[in-house]
Structure 1
Amino acid sequence: MSTRLACVVFDAVEPGSTARFWAELLGWEVTVDRPGEVEIAAPDPDGLDVALTFLPARRPKTALNRMHLDLSSRSLDHQRLQVDRALSLGARRVDIGQGAVPWTVLADPEGNEFCVLEPREEYVDTGAVAAIVMDTRDPLRLAEFWSTAAGWPLTHERPAYAGIRSATGQGPWLEFLRRPDAPTKCGRLHLDLVAFPTDDPLQEAARLRAAGAVPLGPQAAPPGSGAATNDPIAVLADPETNEFCLLPATVD
């Protein structure tokens, strides 16, 4: 049994315009556009299906996110073009204490931090999003949990860094960086998992709890019981209190 990583969710005061920013920047397409939810995804049908979903937030962002996206580049010229394109779409440069580094730190129009990386060999085949990055006090512990949750093998670990990726070798990395002063709240981004159609989602929720997840609310009714098809089966937190949702396999 396993679940799959379905999407990175952004809480945004303006979900539609934030989604359009990211779609333009990444070259992705809007796949869901309805009141209260906008989703974008890569147009490549052979790519790993990790989408970006944008949901409404009541208040503007005020603190550093614990999670961010790293964008890939093919060359130093391409990196500069990516930065210029992001700025022209409404991004801005931000200083989060990174110092003199070869990557560029930006924030989207809602203030969500992201990095445009210099060319790196490990990201040549990821597509536009090189990695989904979490700040953590214990990279290996969190990597082991998310390896169990997403079904992705742990591929590398170092004292300050651990990473997992789909066994297919497609799509972005999910990486964990040691940061002793990591924010205690997850911020405006979180992950959503989806149960496979052949698995019982309630059993999957129990498996995630056994791996170290903590329930954040009452367990939802199973699919077919009258609940909306896109309602979470469970809202949970990983061992470092990063919130995530388990969605039914019937989600659009």
Structure 2
Amino acid sequence: MGFDWPDPSAVCIDLVRVPDPETVKYRVHIELATTSDAHQAELVARLKELGATPADVGPGDAPWTVMADPEGNVFSVLEPRELYRDTGPIAAVVVDCADPRTMARFWGEAIDWTVHELTDDRALLRSVKGVGPYLEFRRTPDDESYGPASIST
């Protein structure tokens, strides 16, 4: 595949066929990085041409664009952010959870990644080599659906 494991800059995503449509809130989503406002607009346009559609995530005027892939899986195309300038096309894999501190402790030790931010509401981890995307855990109440309030700002 063109990389040696474990290469933290190589992100592999497995797409697994499931027999039923999404019936619960999204707990994991991908955030795509952009380098400029023009790049963000171009990427959104290209994704639409490929079959993505704007996702209805409720009210709010956010600088990022929330979209759904052809099967309805939601992802975000972020506005340019300094934090994600060197991550590659995937800025972060975001996991909604009840306790970001516990998740950061577990996954940080499990995959030997460095914690870059840790609060009661958010944990941000990245490879100890400082390359590739971030793994982010966000506190999300059980009754909150995927939407602007659960997306990083």
Q: How does 1:74-223 map to 2 (within 5 A)?
A: 74-97=35-58, 99-181=60-142
Q: Distance in 2 between matches of 1:97 and 1:149?
A: 35
CA separation of 1:129/1:139 partners in 2, compared to 1, >3 Å: closer, same or farther? Answer: same
Following TM superposition, where does structure 1 have runs of at least 4 consecutive aligned residues deviating by more than 4 angstroms? 43-47
Unaligned runs of 5+ in 1: 1-30, 32-42, 184-252
Selected match of 2:26 from 42, 47, 65: 65
Contact 1:165/1:173, CA 8 A, preserved across alignment: yes
Q: Which structure has the highest strand share of the two? A: 1
Deviations 1:213-241 (A, max 9, x none): xxxxxxxxxxxxxxxxxxxxxxxxxxxxx
CA shift at 1:67, angstroms?
0.3
* Equivalent residues of 2:99, 2:120 under 8 A apart: no
Q: Distance in 1 between matches of 2:124 and 2:138?
A: 9
Alignment of 1:226-241 (within 5 A): none
User: Residue 135 of structure 1 contacts residue 182 of structure 1 at CA under 8 Å; is this kept in 2?
Assistant: no
Question: Judging changes above 3 Å, is the alpha-carbon distance between structure 1 residues 97 and 53 closer, same or farther for their aligned structure 2 residues?
Answer: same
Q: In the aligned structure 2, how far is the partner of 1:98 from the partner of 1:166?
A: 35
1:146-200 deviations in whole A, cap 9, x for unaligned?
11111102111133211110011111100011111267xxxxxxxxxxxxxxxxx
Q: Which amino acid aligns with 1:141?
A: T
Query: Can you give the 5+ residue segments of structure 2 that lack an aligned partner in the other structure?
Result: 145-153
Question: How much has 1:98 moved relative to structure 2?
Answer: 6.0
Residues 76-134 of structure 1 deviation map (CA, whole Å, 9 limit, x = unaligned):
11011111111110111112236211111001111111000000111011000000001
SS at 2:87 equivalent = coil
With CA pairs under 8 Å and 6+ residues apart, which has the higher RCO, 1 or 2? 2
The higher radius of gyration belongs to 1
Q: Say whether the 8 Å CA contact 2:3–2:10 is kept in structure 1.
A: no
Partner Cα distance (1:82, 1:64) in 2: 25
- State the Cα RMSD in Å: 2.0
Supply the AA of the counterpart residue of 1:101.
A
CA distance in 1: counterparts of 2:110 and 2:91, whole angstroms:
20
CA pair 157-47 structure 1, distance change in 2 beyond 3 A:
closer
- TM-score, scaled to structure 1: 0.52
* CA shift in 2, pair 1:67/1:181, >3 Å: same
Structure 1 window deviating more from structure 2 (142-151 vs 96-105): it is: 96-105
Task: Indicate the residue corresponding to 2:11 in structure 1.
Answer: 50
